[in-house]
Amino acid sequence: MTGRPRSPRVARGVVLFLALCLPVSARAQAIHHALTVVVQPESGRLAVEDVITPDGERPPHGVHHFLLNAGLRLTTSTPDAAVWRDAARVPGLAPLIEAAGVPVTAYTVTLAATNRTITLKYEGELARPRDTPADEVSGPAVSKEGIALSGQDVWYPVFDQGLVTFSIEARAPASWEVISQGRRTTHRREAAQNLVGWESPEPQDEIYLVGGPLTEYTRDAGGLTAMAFLRTPDQTLADAYLDATGRYLDLYSRLIGPYPYKKFAMVENVRETGYGMPSFTLLGSTVIRLPFILNSSYPHEILHNWWGNGVFVDVDGGNWSEGLTAYLADHLMQEQRGAGAEYRRGALQKYADYVVEAKDFPLTQFRARHSAATEAVGYSKALMVFHMVRRELGDDAFLRALRGFFERFRFRRATFADLDRAFASSATVDRGLPAAAGRPGGSLLAPWIEKAGAPALKVGGVKAFRQGADRYLVTALVEQTQPGAAYRLRVPVAVTLEGREQAYQTTFRLDTKRLGLELPVEGRPLRLDIDPEFDLFRRLDRSELPPALSGLFGAERLLIVLPAGAPEPLREGYRRLAEAWKSSQPGQTDVVFDDKVKALPDDRAVWLFGWENRFRPVVAASLPDRSASITDTGARLSDTVLGRATHSAALTVRDPSHPDRALGWLAADRAAALPGLGRKLPHYGRYGYLGFEGDEPTNVVKGEWRVANSPMSMLVVQPEGGTITVPMATLAPRRALAP
């Protein structure tokens, strides 16, 4: 759920903001809502009074139109509002109606010159989403379980696509807490009710109202308020979140600029969501109890208060906020543990496995993630592009650019182009870098975001020439093999020298399709490693990648081969699993029984199902690790023995005689384990092998195969001829972007 489409907001934005790109000097133009809300969970109803002050930019008097959830009945309006039946045909309103997640009613109201405000009273049971995503349960919007309302519910009158400021006074049952954006102004229990007020002078995309029977935990965090709201009281859990909140607010305030809100709240949700809203996050009950969330999704959601919920995304030019958030949260957390290179390799592997040519698109077209392919571009590619910008500018100039960008666009919408300008100007200021990447406009991002695709590298002819006592020249031919124009790259390189523990490291500029590289070195060069720490966004060579399940789940063409010889319940179970996966595969999937296949095809990925599968020996013979084995009675993976009768196994290998084909094998001896495997395995895409136990089934072993020989690592042909086989020398330690 890291970066699940931070759904309500982005989803609405996706459609809605396409039509219009408002240059916002937000505060002046924001419509203000003063809302008084009564939440009635027993009857599932909401009763609201809203005093609206149209924005100061336009003359407030005149005709206004607004939308309201069709389940709500307007009881009073001053001045009088009328239902507007033809609204869907009005150019300005049509996209709003289209974008609303629920059935809406359109109204028109005329404000006389003497009036500054519109007062509306309405109540009822909210109409629910027209199409609920399959992974979400659609219940009543207001229930005893709680509420989680966003702009997409159109629970307050929506006038246009501009930003809003607001205050809310909510009355809810005494056992409830109610949360919104901004600062809490009121919090007192009266009779059987809890009266809670929130105020957001900061312009917002939309208004959230979240609440339910929750226990509150609050703590001061350096002048800000850290809050946690739990469905079941749990001081230890709350403390863990309050600690983490304080830590991350401090980290990012120092790194980017002051936290733009007064509080941050972690709110436990009945549904298993992972949403980041301005100044709070809504996380599912299971999710918040997973120990790794505190170091992965949680900093990501907090950082969205700067990127996405502090500077808003003008998606017209592409959603830059996910890649930047992933880079400064998920990547940073790994970098701090010394695992930055592994993280980047994983990001590149996702791109290589999931983004086939037909699925690729420019980052300027990224809105939100809907699939593994859109995630691999919108998150993985984008974060690699930001990494390259950082390497180009240096940490100081990179951070200075981000700070300037944040300060300038706080509570406004910004595009990739705005971000690009911030980097370009920071590059110019900083030690007069050769016009930021050497082009007149100084654009660092444009070549990477305006078109689809990635560079691919090839290295050959690596030789050494003696030039003096201990002086050598290393030569190599480096090529960009992708179709089309050359990218402008700064390529890191490491040379392993005889008798030295530390590699000699440098970078070279590659902005042509072919380059004769010449590197003078002090000492005998034994080995050359190009981009050894995965600093470049590029399409990885297959042999740089260990075989992983993602190669099957991302395959454009897939053949699933079922075991004809399996006993009946299993045969049927495998057939159902194949059909289920077929519907979620990105490309074309065919399903056949093994007795109908003479030889496995070469031109597509292949999943073999079953212990009984007659092609199983091909897999057994291709296991990349000698300690792994598959026999008639079970499998052995990474020292874990999986008994055939009790365990299930799933793995992928590269058949040496057909290295381009991803080959997978999945086997269970009990049909009852198959539905669970079908659900779980797509979440284990990065792994090469997995073992499960029982019918649930429970994961007992998982791992990645070792990488074979990378074509980016070359032994140097010596002046005397021949090569000397050595591992790569140690690389210089890297400093994380933040300590």
User: Footprint of Zn ion on this chain (CB under 5 A)?
Assistant: 3, 322, 325
Q: What is the smallest separation between the CB atom of 369 and Zn ion, expressed in angstroms?
A: 9
Q: What is the smallest separation between the CB atom of 281 and Zn ion, expressed in angstroms?
A: 10
Report CA-CA distances (Å) from 729 to 84, 423, 515, 528, 723. Answer: 73, 34, 25, 10, 16
Q: What is the smallest separation between the CB atom of 707 and Zn ion, expressed in angstroms?
A: 29
Report CA-CA distances (Å) from 625 to 543, 636, 703, 706. Answer: 15, 11, 11, 8
Amino acid identity for residue 50 in this structure: D
Q: What is the smallest separation between the CB atom of 211 and Zn ion, expressed in angstroms?
A: 24
Cα 214 from Cα 309, distance rounded (Å): 24
Q: What is the smallest separation between the CB atom of 682 and Zn ion, expressed in angstroms?
A: 20
Phi, psi torsion values for 167, nearest 5 degrees: -130, 150
Cα 149 from Cα 142, distance rounded (Å): 9
Provide the CB-side half-sphere exposure for 426 (13 A, CA): 23
Residue number with CB closer to Zn ion (256 or 591): 256
Q: Which two tokens stand for residue 693?
A: 């136990």
Q: Which two tokens stand for residue 631?
A: 């026999």
Residue 724 in contact with residue 526, Cβ under 8 Å?
A: yes
Residue number with CB closer to Zn ion (325 or 426): 325
Query: Which residue from 738, 519, 703, 545 is spatially nearest to 628, judged by alpha carbons?
Result: 703
Q: What is the smallest separation between the CB atom of 684 and Zn ion, expressed in angstroms?
A: 21
Residue number with CB closer to Zn ion (322 or 353): 322
Q: Which two tokens stand for residue 417?
A: 């182009």
Residue number with CB closer to Zn ion (139 or 284): 284
Q: What is the smallest separation between the CB atom of 304 and Zn ion, expressed in angstroms?
A: 6
DSSP letter for each residue of 514-531 = EEEEEEEEES-EEEEEES
DSSP letter for each residue of 31-42 = EEEEEEEEEETT
What DSSP state is assigned to residue 380?
I
Cα 676 from Cα 335, distance rounded (Å): 34
Cα 10 from Cα 1, distance rounded (Å): 15
In the sheet where 471-480 sits, what is the strand order?
A: 457-466, 471-480, 514-522
Using CA of residue 500, residue 506, residue 511, residue 517, what is the dihedral sign? Answer: negative
Residue 638 in contact with residue 689, Cβ under 8 Å?
A: yes
Residue number with CB closer to Zn ion (449 or 462): 449
Residue 256 in contact with residue 306, Cβ under 8 Å?
A: yes
Residue number with CB closer to Zn ion (3 or 664): 3
Q: What is the smallest separation between the CB atom of 251 and Zn ion, expressed in angstroms?
A: 17
Other residues' Cβ atoms within 10 Å of the Cβ of residue 194:
21
Residue number with CB closer to Zn ion (10 or 548): 10
DSSP letter for each residue of 646-670 = TEEEEEEEE-TTSTTSEEEEEEESS
Q: What is the smallest separation between the CB atom of 313 and Zn ion, expressed in angstroms?
A: 11
Residue number with CB closer to Zn ion (120 or 402): 402
Residue nearest to Zn ion (CB): 3
Residue number with CB closer to Zn ion (313 or 489): 313
Query: Which residue from 280, 376, 312, 274 is spatially nearest to 17, judged by alpha carbons?
Result: 312
Q: What is the smallest separation between the CB atom of 296 and Zn ion, expressed in angstroms?
A: 11
Locate all alpha helices (DSSP H) within 656-738, ordered by sequence.
674-680
Q: What is the smallest separation between the CB atom of 307 and Zn ion, expressed in angstroms?
A: 8
Other residues' Cβ atoms within 10 Å of the Cβ of residue 222:
10
End-to-end Cα separation, the chain, in angstroms: 26
Cα 704 from Cα 161, distance rounded (Å): 47
Residue number with CB closer to Zn ion (322 or 655): 322
Q: What is the smallest separation between the CB atom of 308 and Zn ion, expressed in angstroms?
A: 7
Residue number with CB closer to Zn ion (156 or 306): 306
Cα 707 from Cα 705, distance rounded (Å): 6
Q: What is the smallest separation between the CB atom of 300 and Zn ion, expressed in angstroms?
A: 6
Q: What is the smallest separation between the CB atom of 306 and Zn ion, expressed in angstroms?
A: 12
Residue number with CB closer to Zn ion (3 or 685): 3
Residue number with CB closer to Zn ion (177 or 322): 322
Residue number with CB closer to Zn ion (325 or 718): 325
Integer-rounded Cα Rg, in Å, for the chain is 29
Report CA-CA distances (Å) from 653 to 455, 545, 547, 550, 665. Answer: 26, 11, 6, 12, 8
